[in-house]
Structure 1
């Protein structure tokens, strides 16, 4: 089926809309959407020092819920009396383990910027960045509530010492039959003074089967693609990183046709570079389903971060962060992500996904 025909079918299947722009604002150790922004001091990193390399990461943190019942969402399972028996002790243990990952991902200093998904609300994000392992690094965040029926959202965490948020905006992807999914989050800012844009995604799951659920992910793909088009219309060399749990593989149409993401740095037209396509071809993945590795978590890079004609930061490399402390240590599932739950059985692991990261180098 040709791309135009596919998009024409989808346009009759979906309703697409973008929520109004909201500016990122800041209070204490948070960035939220409701209060006046406080100016962030200029970064003091010397422009004449050795080439800067920064880590940008993404992590599906597997159901980071607080322990309280929100009457507006389906979160009852994650309460002390719910079927997951989600107690304060379990919650705090998970926060501690996630903070350890973020503080070590990519290199010994942790990721400077990290997108996360499956966070319930602003409270859990705030609790995460206020953990001592992260607080000492001065992490702040951008978060918006999304219309997801379970109440799970995406967010972006960042070290204020190297990244200044200049704007943020959440885009709602409206599905057919009033179905709900997560917003797509755009955060723009200056990494050591250079404008870079981050687009955080968590597309609809494959519930009901891959084929039946496919149009939902294409909706989010088209939302994200429109964000890229808008950014590149203003600046053809815009530096953009899309990150997320796409719930699709790099070869699926939502990515190859919706986002136009390919396995090549030699981009043509509006193409983007999928930095994790080659790893998928090697049989690697971030999520294991019935013994098969799936590359559901990916980062996708714009031409502005690849071309040698632009100065400043460029894409250097990328990989899966799959250290032994994140894996099942023994048994049938040895080597798989050590997850928090299997069904309602509590295992006490960190997440059912491995995080991913890329390095950006300033030449």
Structure 2
């Protein structure tokens, strides 16, 4: 099994951990040694491209009374309207297409998406609809209402389990951040993978004051991955 992305290539039969852009996408690969040997011996290696993309504020135009999303409404400072929203949807789908080779990636981790509605517009109302993408997403307690998500091509990846892993700060119980998305599944009908999509607390408010929150998010992630290993 060879997993490819724009930066990393993986050798077969080796358990791998992949870190992309400050632990935004973490993958454990457990190889099927016999199946992979047959593929390699037959000069037909299996390839899967896995990507991560921070879409940077993919909001709909509606005001959510439970989130601080007023900035992305027609009345807000960005004057966010349907024209701007669908332009961003169109640009986002083009980036995802460009991440692939003969087709878009098998798996795409996303962050800074507002809800399932924007994901459905991205997957079902653009040419991505031709590639059998499905969505895994949970609503998180982030105060701005932004979440992480996973898109996968259903004919190439079979999810077996998914969960939202909460990041709750014991030293700041009033603070809210994005959950970590954990998905376990079978890739290319060959290997079981564990994928963790992360979007840790930002440096908004200053680098040093926010370090403890990012460190704590790392501890939550480590505890979860250690439980698998």
Counterparts of 2:151 and 2:73, CA distance in 1 = 26
Query: Are 1:60 and 2:54 matched, yes or no?
Result: yes
Moved over 3 A (4+): 46-49
In structure 1, the residue matched to 2:122 is 128
In structure 2, the residue matched to 1:147 is 141
Matched residue pairs, number? 187
User: Conserved in 2, the CA contact under 8 Å of 1:128 and 1:134?
Assistant: yes
SS in 2 for 1:91: helix
Counterparts of 1:178 and 1:225, CA distance in 2 = 23
User: Conserved in 2, the CA contact under 8 Å of 1:113 and 1:157?
Assistant: yes
In structure 2, the residue matched to 1:102 is 96
5 Å matches for 1:132-211? 132-175=126-169, 176-193=172-189, 194-211=191-208
Q: What is the CA deviation profile of residues 77-123 of structure 1, one whole-angstrom value per residue up to 9, with x for unaligned ones?
A: 10111111000011001101100111120424121101000000111
Gaps of 5+ in 1: 1-45, 233-363
Q: Select the residue among 220, 232, 238 that pairs with 2:217.
A: 220
In structure 1, the residue matched to 2:11 is none
Which structure features the higher share of helix residues? 2
TM-score (norm 2): 0.79
CA shift, 1:223, in A, is 1.0
SS in 2 for 1:136: helix
In structure 1, the residue matched to 2:26 is none
Counterparts of 1:177 and 1:166, CA distance in 2 = 32
Query: Are 1:87 and 2:93 matched, yes or no?
Result: no
CA shift, 1:69, in A, is 0.3
Query: Are 1:50 and 2:54 matched, yes or no?
Result: no
Q: What is the CA deviation profile of residues 21-69 of structure 1, one whole-angstrom value per residue up to 9, with x for unaligned ones?
A: xxxxxxxxxxxxxxxxxxxxxxxxx966710111100000010000000
In structure 1, the residue matched to 2:33 is none
Higher alpha-carbon Rg = 1
Counterparts of 1:174 and 1:121, CA distance in 2 = 21
Gaps of 5+ in 2: 1-37
In structure 2, the residue matched to 1:230 is 227
SS in 2 for 1:202: coil
User: Conserved in 2, the CA contact under 8 Å of 1:119 and 1:153?
Assistant: yes
CA shift, 1:131, in A, is 2.8
TM-score (norm 1): 0.50
Structural RMSD (CA) = 1.4
Q: What is the CA deviation profile of residues 214-233 of structure 1, one whole-angstrom value per residue up to 9, with x for unaligned ones?
A: 0010111111111111111x
Counterparts of 1:88 and 1:118, CA distance in 2 = 18
Q: What is the CA deviation profile of residues 201-244 of structure 1, one whole-angstrom value per residue up to 9, with x for unaligned ones?
A: 00000012111100010111111111111111xxxxxxxxxxxx
Q: Select the residue among 47, 66, 69 that pairs with 1:72.
A: 66
Counterparts of 1:61 and 1:144, CA distance in 2 = 17
Q: What is the CA deviation profile of residues 251-293 of structure 1, one whole-angstrom value per residue up to 9, with x for unaligned ones?
A: xxxxxxxxxxxxxxxxxxxxxxxxxxxxxxxxxxxxxxxxxxx
